[in-house]
Amino acid sequence: MTTLDAPAERTLTLRETGPATRGTRPDEVVIAVSPAFGDPFTQTIVGVPHAEVLRQLMAGIEEQGVGVRVVRVWGTADLAAVSHIAARLSGSGVSVGLLSRGTAMIHQKDLPRLSNLELFPQSPLLDAPVFRAIGSNAAQYAKGQSPQPVPTRNDQMARPRWQAKAALLHLKEFECIRADAGPVELEVTISR
Amino acid sequence: MTAAAPRPAQQTRRSLRTETLEARPVNLDGFVEEWPEKGLVAMESDFDPQPSVRVEDGVITELDGRSRADFDFMDSFIADHAIDVATTEASMALPSVQIARMLIDPGVSRAEVIAVTRGLTPAKVLDVVKLMNVVEIMQGMQKMRARRTPANQAHSTSARDNPLQVAVDAAEGALRGFAELETTLGVVRYAPLVAIALQVGGQVGRGGVLTQCALEEATELELGMRGITAYAETISIYGTESVFVDGDDTPWSKTFLASAYASRGIKMRFTSGTGSEVQMGNAEGRSMLYLEIRCILMAKGAGVQGLQNGSISCIGVPGAVPGGIRAVAAENLVASMMDLECASGNDQSFSHSAMRRTARMLPQLLPGTDFVCSGYSAVPNSDNMFAGSNFDTDDYDDWNTIQRDLQVDGGLRHVREPEILAVRAKAARVLQALFEYLELPRITDDEVEAATYANSSNDYPFRDVLADLTGAQQVMDRGVTGLDLVRGLEATGFHDVAENLLTVLRQRVSGDLLQTAAVLTADFTPLSAINDANDYAGPGTGYRLQGERWEELKKLRHVTSATDPETEVD
B241 is catalytic: no
**B184 and B154 both lie in a single domain:** yes
Three-class SS of residue B255? helix
Q: Which of B157, B160, B278 to mutate to test the interface with A (most CBs of A within 10 A)?
A: B278
Residues of B in contact with A166 (CB under 8 A): 279
Q: What is the pLDDT of residues A32-58, one digit of tens each?
A: 999 999 999 999 999 999 999 999 999
pLDDT (tens place) for every residue of chain A, 192 residues total:
334 444 557 899 999 999 999 999 999 999 999 999 999 999 999 999 999 999 999 999 999 999 999 999 999 999 999 999 999 999 999 999 999 999 999 999 999 988 899 999 889 999 999 999 999 999 999 999 999 999 877 788 999 999 999 999 999 999 999 999 999 999 999 986
Domain region containing B563 = 145-229+373-570
Residue ranges in chain B modelled with pLDDT below 70:
1-10
Contact B317 A167 (CB under 8 A): yes
Do strands A67-72 and B153-155 pair parallel, antiparallel, or not at all (unpaired)?
unpaired
CA distance to partner chain A, nearest, from residue B31 (Å):
7
Neighbours of B417 (CB within 10 A): 8
* Catalytic residue (one of B62, B96, B155, B532): B155
CA-wise closest residue to B99 among B65, B136, B125, B133: B125
- φ and ψ of B401, to 5 deg: -70, -40
Neighbours of A3 (CB within 10 A): 15
Cα-based distances in Å from B13 to B17, B19, B21, B24: 12, 11, 15, 19
**B401 and B290 both lie in a single domain:** no
Chain centre distance of CA A93:
15
Three-class SS of residue A3? coil
| B88 falls within a domain | yes
Q: CA-based angle A171:A174:A178, to the nearest 5?
A: 160
What pLDDT was estimated at residue A4?
46
Residues of B in contact with A41 (CB under 8 A): 4
Give the whole-angstrom CA distance, residue A100 versus residue A50.
Answer: 8
B217 is catalytic: no
What pLDDT was estimated at residue B186?
86
**B263 and B317 both lie in a single domain:** yes
- Residue B561 sits in a domain whose CATH number is 3.20.20.350
What pLDDT was estimated at residue B377?
98
> Is-contact B376 B391, C-beta < 8 A?
yes
> Which of B28, B35, B317 is nearest residue A163 as measured by Cβ atoms?
B317
Three-class SS of residue B296? helix
Q: Which of B26, B34, B38 to mutate to test the interface with A (most CBs of A within 10 A)?
A: B38
What pLDDT was estimated at residue B12?
87
Nearest CA in chain B to A2: B28
| B9 falls within a domain | no
B81 exposure class (CB count in 10 Å sphere: 0-12, 13-18, 19+): middle
> Is-contact A156 A124, C-beta < 8 A?
no
Nearest CA in chain A to B159: A154
**B387 and B359 both lie in a single domain:** no
**B257 and B359 both lie in a single domain:** yes
Final residue in a domain of this structure, among B372, B392, B416: B372
* Catalytic residue (one of B156, B308, B344, B457): B308
> Is-contact A157 B316, C-beta < 8 A?
no
| B4 falls within a domain | no
**B307 and B358 both lie in a single domain:** yes
Give the whole-angstrom CA distance, residue B489 versus residue B485.
Answer: 6
| B58 falls within a domain | yes
**B57 and B121 both lie in a single domain:** yes
What pLDDT was estimated at residue B8?
54
Give the whole-angstrom CA distance, residue B528 versus residue B519.
Answer: 7
* Catalytic residue (one of B45, B153, B199, B236): B153
Strand partners, A13: A189
Cα-based distances in Å from B247 to A114, B277, B360: 10, 12, 29
What end-to-end distance do the CA atoms of chain B give, in Å? 57
| B351 falls within a domain | yes
- φ and ψ of A119, to 5 deg: -125, 135
CA-wise closest residue to B560 among B551, B552, B550, B570: B570
Q: Which residues contact B17 (CB under 8 A, 6 or more apart)?
A: none
B347 is catalytic: yes
**B361 and B377 both lie in a single domain:** no
| B29 falls within a domain | no
Cα-based distances in Å from B162 to B111, B197, B431, B443, B459: 46, 9, 12, 11, 11
List domains and CATH numbers for chain A.
12-147+155-190 (3.40.50.10150)
Give the whole-angstrom CA distance, residue B75 versus residue B551.
Answer: 50
Contact B317 A156 (CB under 8 A): no
**B395 and B261 both lie in a single domain:** no
**B558 and B544 both lie in a single domain:** yes
Final residue in a domain of this structure, among B372, B405, B433: B372
Residues of A in contact with B31 (CB under 8 A): 164
CA-wise closest residue to A87 among A17, A20, A174, A13: A20
What pLDDT was estimated at residue B391?
98
**B390 and B454 both lie in a single domain:** yes
**B438 and B411 both lie in a single domain:** yes
Final residue in a domain of this structure, among B354, B372, B390: B372
Collect all residues from A whose CB is shorter than 8 A from any CB in B.
1, 3, 6, 41-45, 47, 77, 101, 154, 156-157, 159-172, 174
Give the whole-angstrom CA distance, residue B404 versus residue B408.
Answer: 7
B546 exposure class (CB count in 10 Å sphere: 0-12, 13-18, 19+): exposed
Give the whole-angstrom CA distance, residue B531 versus residue B147.
Answer: 9
* Catalytic residue (one of B34, B161, B233, B409): B233
- In total, the C-beta contacts within 8 angstroms joining chain A to chain B are 95
- Report the number of distinct structural domains present in chain B: 2
Give the whole-angstrom CA distance, residue B486 versus residue B492.
Answer: 10
> Is-contact B481 B501, C-beta < 8 A?
no
Task: Please indicate if any CB of chain A lies within 8 Å of the CB of B35.
Answer: yes
Give the whole-angstrom CA distance, residue B204 versus residue B181.
Answer: 13
* Catalytic residue (one of B311, B313, B336, B374): B374
Task: Please indicate if any CB of chain A lies within 8 Å of the CB of B28.
Answer: yes
Nearest CA in chain B to A155: B387
Length of chain A measured in residues = 192
Residues of B in contact with A154 (CB under 8 A): 387
| B270 falls within a domain | yes
| B31 falls within a domain | no
